Amino acid sequence: MIEDSELRDLFRIESSEHLQAIESGLLHIEKDPDNVPLLEELFRESHSLKGASRMLELYDIERIFHRFEDILGKARTSGQRLTSAAIDCMCKSLDAIRKLVNEATHGERANVDVGAVLDVLKAADAGDAGGIGAERESATDAVLFADSGSEENVAMSGERRSSDAGSAGQIDEMFNVSKAILGGKAGAEQFVIETIRVETRKLDMLMTHAGELTVAKVRIARRYMDLEELQEKWDQIHLNFKKSTSENSLLSALLEQYASQLENVVGAAYEDSARLDFVTGELEDGIRSVRLLPLSTIFNLFGLMVRKLSRECGKEVELHIEGGDITADKRILEEMKDPLMHIIRNAIDHGLELPQERLAKGKSATGHIRLRAYQSSSNVMIDIEDDGRGLNLQAIRRSALKTNLWREEELAAMDDEKIMSLIFMPGFSTSTFVSDVSGRGVGMDVVHANVKKLKGTVSVSSVPDTSCMIRIQLPLTLATSRVLIVVDNGVKYAVPVEHVQKSYSLPWKDLFTVEGHLATMFEQKAVAVARLGNLLQFKRKDFVRAEKDGAQQKAEERSPCIIMEVNEERFGLIVDELLDEQEIVLKSQSVLLRHINDLSGVTILGTGEVCMVLNPVDFVAELKRQATESASSAHAVVHKKQLILLAEDSLTTRAQMKRILESGGYEVVMAVDGMDAYSKLDTRPFDAIVSDINMPNMDGLELAQKVRSHKKYAKLPLVLVTMLSTDEDKKRGMEAGANAYISKATFEQKLLLDTLKRLV
């Protein structure tokens, strides 16, 4: 029996599919013996199962399929047809193989004489070589080949067989042995299909329906509560009637009967609700478990990538994988492939040092990346850690300052943890060189965006010259979610409870102002507070909050508040009402709402109302944006267009590049080659140079070298845009002094503009 349970299950599924395909193919080839493509397919199926058997050291199965290949190989290369007798023999040997597979996957003794099966198949091979035909009444006659349909050859082979009784007797004996081995007809055995393959879209559809059932469960539970309330009212009415009336016994008995019937209905409703609750839970858990896949499904994709990238970067890297057997929803695996790839690429390119640099630091020449998964009660955690140089906090501060989103004093006030989290900002990169591998400022932004889409969080920690670790936390399920229903401006919203730290009634006296923004104290720390409606990008105009008179407003002097926590950052949301907590089915928003960042989806409440599910992650960014606008409003300045020097010898390309740059808001001065560009450097205060490489008089590499050799232009950003795209070309561009290298073969307008935005 195969010891490894995962390999055992995989082989059971694979062998079942291959055997079914082979058996079906043999039956078809009997009707269409000249179908060469089908013979090829049969040969491939046999070869695949033979290879899988050898890998798992199932040598008996391998030996049988080796004979299969001999027979099929001769049939497809010699032009001879497989006779019905040959096909009958091969089908019978498949029964033996199934018993051997069952032994390997379930541990039940097969009791198959493999030697006898091989002899039967060998007889077919020998019969083919001798040109022997076959004519017998029994369906289990000897296995022979007939030359491509020639009646004369068939007749001659029949004569030869009749004159060789000993040979025929041996073949008959082999068949008798094989019958005894296989136990005759297999009709008495129970036919069981243990595994099936299902399209994932069908599972998605079932999960959606199960989610709708959850909504129905909530609604029925509410109906039961309504019935209970109705029963209490009826009992009270009945009691009052009995006290006030003792004369009409008939009416009293009738009311007693109604009360009893109502009690029975309420009891039945409770039982139905409880049963539906149980069945719905079991159904959801069952479908959810079917959708679960091991993380090794994507983890194992990164080995070759690490090997290739490490060689391109001239580094020695080993990838260590742990927790590949942890399972997660298939959508999580689909959405997390690219983020994990970007993190590993950044670790190789930015984090791990070159071998000589590592040795100088007392490290091993080989860098290590550890990809680890583990599971908590409600989340899947993925850690990606490298033992490289760690994050350069000063470089992150300098890059953040270039974005103009923070002032220098704000960055100075941030702790190390907040500084490190800036690497997830859109377009952020500390790389001084842009290439196809990294430095474009898109990798970690992709990580953040995809994790946010999955309702997860991502954080980073680093120790200088020792390590850097990125931790991703994801929910176990994406189909259903628990939310807190709130009301603001007359509109109901759903807030995911995983981000809720506390919900309470906040006294107005506890609010104070910090730098023009409301705040309150929570766990001895000041947290920003904002009204939900002021953070939303969309404004509902169809609901208007009812105005309160002065006396009512003064009497309340407090507002419902939710303390939220996102990526270890806390803030408060003020709303009009806190309703209740519910389990909801999350549905993706329509095309019209997809551009709105504040929403992660929509749901249908138990009341039938459509409710928008909020994404608290976006509120953090909005709070920061508002704070930045408020702080910078007093320092507003008028910005002039930035000036780009464009060097390109092709007239068409030059015109197109000029349009692209001007569409990005830049003023452009054009040069026809490197020499023309260098002569124009002193004429205007340029903010950057964009240049081709292959140009007459002076090419782009020479231009870059001359620019860098001039003290005045040593730090002037320079971007090379060229058809040369090999690793050696990129290396030459970097050595010449370019800040970015963009290949025209994969050129994207957005990439050029994003690169300039980061560099200028």
pLDDT of 542: 47
Which pair of tokens denotes residue 660? 């692209």
Question: Which pLDDT belongs to residue 178?
Answer: 46
The confidence score (pLDDT) of residue 151 equals 39
Q: How far is CA 427 from CA 78, 395, 400, 465, in A?
A: 64, 15, 10, 25
Q: What is the CATH number of domain 5-182?
A: 1.20.120.160
Please, what is the Cα angle at 232 between 229 and 237, to 5 degrees? Answer: 130
- Tell me what the mean pLDDT of segment 118-132 comes to: 59
Three-state secondary structure of 66-107: HHHHHHHHHHHHHCCEECHHHHHHHHHHHHHHHHHHHHHHHC
Handedness of CA 252, 254, 255, 256 (dihedral sign): positive
pLDDT for 303 equals: 81
CA–CA distance, 161 with 167 (Å, rounded to integer): 8
pLDDT at 8 over 70: yes
Which pair of tokens denotes residue 328? 């997660």
What confidence score (pLDDT) does residue 129 get? 33
Q: How far is the C-alpha of 753 from the C-alpha of 739, rounded, in Å?
A: 14
At 202, the pLDDT band (50, 70, 90 cuts) reads confident
| Residues forming a β-bridge with 577 | 487
- Domain edges within the chain: 5-182, 200-291, 295-475, 480-542+552-635, 643-759
pLDDT in tens, 18-36: 888 888 788 788 778 888 8
Q: Which two tokens stand for residue 223?
A: 């109906």
For residue 664, give the nearest of 750, 741, 760, 759 by alpha carbon: 750
C-alpha span between 752 and 741 (Å, rounded): 10
- Grouping H, G, I as helix, E, B as strand and the rest as coil, residue 375 is strand
Rounded Cα distance, 755 and 660, in Å: 13
Helix, strand, or coil here: 572? Answer: strand
Tokens read off for 518:
């409301």
Nearest to 468 by CA among 460, 480, 476: 460
User: Which CATH fold would you assign to the domain 643-759?
Assistant: Rossmann fold (3.40.50)
In angstroms, the CA 482 to CA 576 distance is: 20
Q: How far is CA 261 from CA 243, 254, 273, 580, in A?
A: 21, 11, 18, 32
pTM reported for the whole predicted model:
0.48
User: What is the per-residue pLDDT across 701-717, written as a single tens digit (0 to 9) for each?
Assistant: 999 998 988 888 888 89
Q: What's residue 382's pLDDT? A: 94
Domain 480-542+552-635 homologous superfamily, CATH? SH3 Domains (2.30.30.40)
For 56-65, 329-338, 477-486, 575-584, which range has the lowest pLDDT when averaged over its residues?
Answer: 477-486
Separation in Å, CA 14 to CA 5, 197, 539? 14, 11, 55
Q: Residue 381: how many CB atoms within 10 A of its CB?
A: 16
Residue 752 has phi, psi (to 5 degrees) of -65, -45
Element (H, E) at 581: strand 577-585
Distance between CA atoms of residues 75 and 19, nearest Å: 19
* Of 153-167, 213-227, 499-513, 638-652, the least confident: 153-167
- Average pLDDT over all residues of the chain: 76
- Predicted confidence band at 442 (pLDDT cuts at 50, 70, 90)? very low
pLDDT of residue 273 exceeding 70, the answer is: yes
With cut-offs at 50, 70 and 90, classify the pLDDT of residue 747: low
- Cβ atoms of 298 and 332 within 8 Å: the answer is no
- CA-nearest of 90, 77, 96 to 30 is 90
Residue 720: which H helix or E strand, with range?
strand 718-722
The shares of helix, strand and coil residues in the chain, as percent rounded to the nearest 5, are 55, 20, 30
Across residues 105-117, what is the average pLDDT? Answer: 84
Q: Which residues of 427-551 form beta strands (DSSP E)?
A: 457-463, 467-475, 480-488, 491-496, 500-507, 512-514, 517-522, 525-531
Q: What is the pLDDT at residue 592?
A: 53
Instruction: State yes or no: pLDDT of 270 exceeds 90.
Output: no
Closest-CA residue to 299 (of 333, 332, 330, 350): 333
Between residues 169 and 344, which one has the greater pLDDT? 344
Q: What is the DSSP letter of 587?
A: B
Q: What is the mean pLDDT of residues 124-128?
A: 56
Q: Identical fold at 5-182 and 480-542+552-635?
A: no
Give φ, ψ of 636 to 5 degrees.
-65, 135
| Residue 562: HSE in the Cβ half-sphere, 13 Å Cα cutoff | 29
**pLDDT higher than 50, residue 456:** yes
User: How many Cα atoms occupy the beta-carbon half-sphere of 171 within 13 Å?
Assistant: 25
Which of 390, 388, 385, 344 lies closest to 363 in space, CA to CA?
A: 388
Encode burial over 92-111: b for 16+ CB neighbours within 10 A, e otherwise: bbbbbbbbbbebbbeeeebe
Share of the chain above pLDDT 90, in %: 13
pLDDT for 634 equals 42
C-alpha to C-alpha distance for 376 and 473, rounded to whole angstroms: 10
SS3 label, residue 187: coil
pLDDT for position 486:
92
Q: How many angstroms separate the first and last alpha carbons of the chain? A: 65
SS3 321: strand
Is residue 564 pLDDT above 80, yes or no?
yes
Which band of pLDDT confidence, cut at 50, 70 and 90, is reported for residue 668? very high
Superfamily in which the 295-475 domain is placed by CATH: Histidine kinase-like ATPase, C-terminal domain (3.30.565.10)
Instruction: Write down the pLDDT at residue 365.
Output: 93
Q: Would you state the pLDDT for residue 755?
A: 83
Taking only the tens place, the pLDDT of each residue in 570-599 is: 899 999 999 888 877 777 665 555 556 677
- Vertex 32, ends 30 and 35: CA angle to 5°? 115
Per-residue pLDDT averaged across 482-490, rounded?
A: 88
- Who's near 551: CB < 8 A, 6+ residues apart? none
pLDDT tens per residue, range 229-256: 888 888 787 777 776 655 566 677 777 7
